[in-house]
């Protein structure tokens, strides 16, 4: 890229640049990771579908909490800071700079992933007891806020709500919990009407001008588990509307999950792209091809 703004950070998916003292440019790339390893091949339009989905949810869930989003239009960047070669259409967000909470705000509506593993061991989820006899992928009696720490390296650590209070204080932890659960409930209800279960999700919240707002991405296939309603059955894990074709291929390949990753066949890349796009179109009832920069 030829972006002339100060580069602050590159993660697995996003590149972050400073826009003056109080704004940030977030650029969602087409990088794809699996098992904590970034694949060598780009997945076309992946950054755009994440940006499109987040922009949609920022819009429709704005009554729950504000967001850091200012614009998704490259024309709103400072003059001369980027060019057409940077391919920013549809994959950028110009945002307020926020003071981020040191928490991953996770909400679980179904018993899966690390929560299911903990329940199998101890009958608890994040240290709190759950009813006996639950099966994998069971819907929980009600959505539960299960925060984790943000690890600079390695994996985040699941913590109790009491530990979250110790990190940010009771008032802020309670507000983060309430916002996260309401975002999840409203988003999950909409998705369910359109044939998709949001099993769990992760939000990032931060302070902007004294207000707690939603940042980064919202209810995307990267930050959430999307399951087809028709395939959900307690006792098993449904296929996901995300990188499931990639994960399945890598599991079957015999790869040891250490870098470098194996080369990927084009059909695996295309199948994953199609699942991301289908989730967007089902939930938003908008054509992904109409989003800026999408090639088809």
User: What residue spans define the domains of the chain?
Assistant: 7-98+272-290, 100-231
Q: Which CATH class is domain 100-231?
A: alpha beta
- pLDDT band of 85, cuts 50, 70, 90: confident
What average pLDDT does the structure give for the chain?
Answer: 94
Judged against a pLDDT cut of 70, whether residue 153 lies above it is answered with: no
Helices and strands (H, E) in the chain, number of each type: 6, 16
Full-model pTM: 0.94
SS3 labels along 136-193 = CCCEEEEEEECCEECCCCCCCCECCHHHHHHHHCHHHHHHHHHHHHHHHHHHHHHHHH
Q: In degrees to the nearest 10, what's the CA dihedral of 183, 186, 192, 193?
A: -150
At 24-41, the pLDDT tens digits run: 999 999 999 999 899 999
CATH number of 7-98+272-290: 3.30.200.20
Give residue-wise pLDDT tens across range 57-73: 999 999 999 999 999 99
Q: What percent of the chain has pLDDT over 90?
A: 88
């Amino acid at each position: 890229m030829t972006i002339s703004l100060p580069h602050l950070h590159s993660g697995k998916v996003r590149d972050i640049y400073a826009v003056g003292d109080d704004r940030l440019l977030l650029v969602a790339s087409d990088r794809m990771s699996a098992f904590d390893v970034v694949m060598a091949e780009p997945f076309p339009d992946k950054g755009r579908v994440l940006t499109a989905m987040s922009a949609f949810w920022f819009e429709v869930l704005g009554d729950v909490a504000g967001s850091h989003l200012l614009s998704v239009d490259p024309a709103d960047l400072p003059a001369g800071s980027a060019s057409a070669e940077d391919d920013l259409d549809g994959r950028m967000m110009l945002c307020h700079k926020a003071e981020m909470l040191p928490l991953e705000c996770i909400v679980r509506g179904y018993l899966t992933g690390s929560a299911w593993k903990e329940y199998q061991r101890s009958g608890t989820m994040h240290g709190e007891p759950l009813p006996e006899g639950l099966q994998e992928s069971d819907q929980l009696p009600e959505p539960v806020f299960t925060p984790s720490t943000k690890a600079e390296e390695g994996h985040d650590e699941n913590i109790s709500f009491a530990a979250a209070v110790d990190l940010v204080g009771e008032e802020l932890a309670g507000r983060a919990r309430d916002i996260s659960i309401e975002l999840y409930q409203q988003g999950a209800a909409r998705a369910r009407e359109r044939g998709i279960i949001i099993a769990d999700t992760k939000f990032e919240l931060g302070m902007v001008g004294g207000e707690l707002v939603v940042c980064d991405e919202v209810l995307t296939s990267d930050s959430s588990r999307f399951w087809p309603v028709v395939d959900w059955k307690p006792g098993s894990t449904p296929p996901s509307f995300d990188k499931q074709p990639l994960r399945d291929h890598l599991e079957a390949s015999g790869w040891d999950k250490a870098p470098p990753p194996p080369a990927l066949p084009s059909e695996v890349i295309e199948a994953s792209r199609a699942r991301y796009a289908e989730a967007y179109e089902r939930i938003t009832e908008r054509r992904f091809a109409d989003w800026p920069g999408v090639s088809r």
